[in-house]
Amino acid sequence: MCACPVAAAAFSRDLFCCMMKPYTEKTVLVSGGAGFLGSHLCERLLSDGCEVLCVDNYYTGSKANVAHLMDNPYFEMIRHDITFPIYLEVDKIFNLACPASPIHYQFDPVQTTKTSVHGSINMLGLAKRVKATILQASTSEVYGDPEIHPQSESYWGRVNPVGIRACYDEGKRCAETLFFDYHRQHGVDIKVARIFNTYGPRMHPNDGRVVSNFIIQALRGQPITIYGDGSQTRSFCFVDDMVEGFIKLMASEPEFAGPVNLGNPHEITIKQLAEIIVDITSSNSEIFFQEIPEDDPRRRKPDISLARTVLDWNPDVSLSQGLGETIEYFQKLLDC
Ligand code: NAD
Ligand code: UDP
Ligand code: UDP
């Protein structure tokens, strides 16, 4: 037993800290951590030895997505809307909070813009105060309905500023502006990822997105709803590849701020996607053509040369492999 009371107090405090919360490499804040991408990212950060603070208002995310992490002493869930200030002590921030699917972000478009703009200001203010590096989950939607194909980071985009997708597209564009101005004006270390369509387990079953819709329709034997003639294209990235991209981007040299495209360049038409999903699920669903939504981009494919060169990142999960895992997830969900 130590005779000096001050040393004894310090010793017992150290012992207490050691027992209650062993040393971690980094404390990381994930806003939107209870969502599809966020929950996978939280999982990955925990397995990398980080302490994770997950902030989410459950607008489109759910406790179920992070239920398996709740018993982990390095994981903490905070119910909070990032359009309001929040004071935390962290080393890194991943700003993912924002509804991502068209039906979700168009449900309350004013809140969508507020989340991108007010939410980014609060997250950037936090990053500035604690000197944390902050990564923004931007989107290929900043390119709008593009005239350039494939899309590279130097393309400034073609967005309708008053259309029904503008709350999301323009909100994300303004967020990018804020990130670069906090960087230039206040020296905040930023990373901006332009994420292209990503899919995988824990996608919201009612998000109306093409992958979740087609899989659920195929598994239920319901008509597959193609909007338009199905000749529009997208390029789909599996969630594990995307999370790897986030980790590599956060770990990149401080001088590298982006923006950088993250996505899988394998481009297919929506009709081809429907046929592949019908085939993998051995479904007898028929294809059914419906009206195409306003401002629906015709083509989308990332040029990922920058990510390949600077981050040494390359998505390697094939569409059939990724769809297989996603179909398995939705099958279990439907069986519940
Ligand atoms: P998601 O809807 O599953 O996740 C978003 C999360 O943010 C949800 O948990 C939601 O509850 C939370 N959230 C929304 N508004 C909030 C607010 N004001 N305060 C706190 N939490 C809030 O979507 P996702 O697919 O996981 O997307 C994550 C991020 O990646 C989003 O910023 C999205 O714009 C971006 N992104 C995703 C894709 C994709 O294909 N999934 C493509 C491009 C960009
Ligand atoms: N902010 C926050 N958490 C912090 C620091 C700041 O939520 O730890 C918010 C704060 O409420 C402010 C915003 O971030 O509205 C922007 O902060 P900044 O310091 O850039 O601007 P200012 O406080 O001067 O408005
Ligand atoms: N889409 C479709 N049927 C559906 C859902 C979507 O044909 O049931 C189309 C949609 O019109 C778009 C593409 O699939 O052309 C991708 O839609 P999603 O909402 O998944 O992503 P985003 O348009 O944001 O890329």
- Per-residue pLDDT tens digits for 71-102: 999 999 999 999 999 999 999 999 999 999 99
Q: How many angstroms is it from 87 CA to the middle of ligand 2?
A: 9
Identify the band that residue 318 occupies on the pLDDT scale cut at 50, 70 and 90: very high
What is residue 7's predicted lDDT score, i.e. its pLDDT?
Answer: 44
Is the beta carbon of 203 within 6 A of some atom in ligand 3?
no
Q: How many angstroms is it from 106 CA to the middle of ligand 1?
A: 13
- The residue whose CB lies within 8 Å of the most ligand 3 atoms, and thus the one to mutate among 165, 234, 267, 326, is 234
Alpha helices in the chain (DSSP H): 5-20, 36-47, 63-66, 102-107, 109-130, 166-186, 210-220, 239-250, 270-281, 305-306, 319-335
Over 60: is that where the pLDDT of 257 sits?
Answer: yes
For atom 11 of ligand 2, the residue with the nearest CA is 85
Q: How many angstroms is it from 304 CA to the middle of ligand 2?
A: 34
Asked if 263 and 233 count as a contact pair (C-beta separation under 8 A), the reply is no
Asked if 235 and 302 count as a contact pair (C-beta separation under 8 A), the reply is yes
DSSP H or E segment with residue 268: strand 267-269
pLDDT tens, position by position, 93-143? 999 999 999 999 999 999 999 999 999 999 999 999 999 999 999 999 999
Tokens of 328: 């398995």
